[in-house]
Amino acid sequence: MNSTCSVRSGPFPAYICLIMQFSSSLIENAVNEFASLPGIGKKTALRMVLHLLKQSPDRVRDFGEKISKMRKEIKFCQRCFNVSDADICSICSNSMRKQDLVCVVENLRDVIAIESTQQYNGVYHVLGGVISPLDGIGPEQLNIEGLIYRVGKEQISEMLFALSPNIQGDTTIYYIQKKLQGVPVKITTIARGIAFGGELEYADEMTLARSITNRMPVDSYMGR
Ligand SMILES: [Zn+2]
């Protein structure tokens, strides 16, 4: 079945397209909902819907309820703005983690990526984006004031920036660093250089230059 609806823009009325594509508007609605998700095309959406169709009504209801419950009950941690089941997230409330080391990230996906490395034992602060004037995103739209407040209130010894190495990320670091001028907190950033498995000759000049400037002892690189 062709999942695209090319005839919609042609001389045929829309209902012909619907009849040609689906014999059920219920199926079509479900396919359209799945296809509205990022990275999901109509063919994949149709496969998902047909899979659900094979499940029992109870199983599908459970599926829908979990999605709905997630959206309705999800909270943002009052301290770090990470997603949470409670007012304070499980990372912030974990006494085994270093509460004075704060990793500043752009969004939730970065938290998940860093947590997946199992190499970080501090806490986080989720900015909710980075400063990008061209996109109309200024500091006031991000969780920057909350971060400055945390530094003043909590005894934070190190702030580790884990932002994407681009103009927006660097602008955000620069802005926050300026705001914290005179405050006794160590400000660091994740290392920038050649990606593991990458080819040196294909690296751009800036990445290569930074890799040389930020060179490190082989012992620490090998993780000993
Ligand atoms: Zn938290």
In the three-class reduction of DSSP (H, G, I as helix; E, B as strand; rest coil), residue 224 is classed as coil
In angstroms, what is the span from residue 100 Cα to ligand 1's centroid? Answer: 13
In angstroms, what is the span from residue 115 Cα to ligand 1's centroid? Answer: 13
In angstroms, what is the span from residue 145 Cα to ligand 1's centroid? Answer: 16
* Crossing angle of the two packed helices 167-179 and 144-153, in degrees rounded to 10: 40
In angstroms, what is the span from residue 124 Cα to ligand 1's centroid? Answer: 7
Nearest alpha carbon to residue 144 among 176, 168, 166: 176
The model carries a pTM of 0.77
In angstroms, what is the span from residue 13 Cα to ligand 1's centroid? Answer: 52
| Whether 124 contacts 105, CB under 8 Å | yes
Question: Where are the extended beta strands (E) located within 77-203?
Answer: 83-84, 98-105, 122-126, 158-161, 186-189
In angstroms, what is the span from residue 87 Cα to ligand 1's centroid? Answer: 8
Domains of the chain from N-terminus onward: 6-73 (1.10.8.420), 87-190 (3.40.1360.10)
Q: What string of pLDDT tens digits covers the 224 residues of the chain? A: 444 444 444 455 554 444 446 788 899 999 999 999 999 999 999 999 999 999 999 999 999 999 999 999 999 999 999 999 999 999 999 999 999 999 999 999 999 999 999 999 999 999 999 999 999 999 999 999 999 999 989 989 999 999 998 899 999 999 999 999 989 999 999 988 888 787 888 888 888 888 888 888 887 766 55
Q: What is the dihedral of CA 68, 71, 75, 76, to 10 degrees?
A: 160
In angstroms, what is the span from residue 157 Cα to ligand 1's centroid? Answer: 17
In angstroms, what is the span from residue 91 Cα to ligand 1's centroid? Answer: 6
In angstroms, what is the span from residue 154 Cα to ligand 1's centroid? Answer: 13
